[in-house]
Amino acid sequence: MAPEIWTPLNAAYDQLYPSSKRYMPPMLLGGVGFRDRMYAARVNVGFGQFKIVFLECIDIPKHELEVIWRHRPAEVFRATYAVADLWDFAYGTEGLGRDLSSFHGQLWNNARSAITSAAQDLSRDHAFDLSVQSSCIAAELAMKGVLAYRGWPESEIRKLNHDLPKIAEAIIKEAPSSTDVRLMQACGVFPGYANSRYKQHGLSKIQLIELAMRAQYVAADVLRRVSQRNIGGDLENRGDLPPRGDLI
């Protein structure tokens, strides 16, 4: 932003909110799990060309990350892929135009909120059981947003209800990819959204964290099919990381 705009804007903010710190909020706040803890992962606002240091996007002390790397390296690789998923979803939706006047824009915006809600719920030591709802909603709305973006009428999208495998099948027919099998596998292990509202889901904290990260993967996978963002695919093709496989 030009200094002639930024400088007086900062001065006005300091006068109105003297006790607040100015900062640029992230484009998306998601989460990455290590062991049985969820850590915030941020997608920052960027302009032009810049380098993404994936592990620095995670709010975790460096010494703690080093311990995990020594004893549980697979979790660090999984975290790297998970951060890439968040970047692909955030910049993918932004690049396609997250116009809230459009149906697909509304769906993607609500999916973003659900991703953040699940991550924040799981970062607590208690009252995290409702994260299962947010995770299911995030995956569902991200996929339905892609269908809406590809021209599906709202009435047809609503007929898919909350059936994630059925929605995934529609996505695959509309925008096939080399990750079709992985998408179907991921969507096939979500708990029933409707039933989980009324009955105990029976998932442990670790399983809830894995579910939230799986929802982030589904959201990223379907956006990669219709956008120009594919950091996750680039990571898989680099050759210096283990195959993604079940690291979702």
The sign of the CA dihedral 109, 30, 187, 201 is negative
Q: What is the tens place of the pLDDT at every residue in 11-38?
A: 887 887 776 666 667 889 999 999 899 9
Token representation of residue 136 = 């299911």
Q: State both tokens at 203.
A: 């998932």
pLDDT at 217: 98
Is 247's pLDDT higher than 80?
no
CA distance 218 to 143: 8
Type and span of the H or E element at 61 = none
Residue-wise pLDDT for 122-177, tens only, equals 998 777 888 999 999 999 999 999 999 999 999 999 999 999 999 999 999 999 99
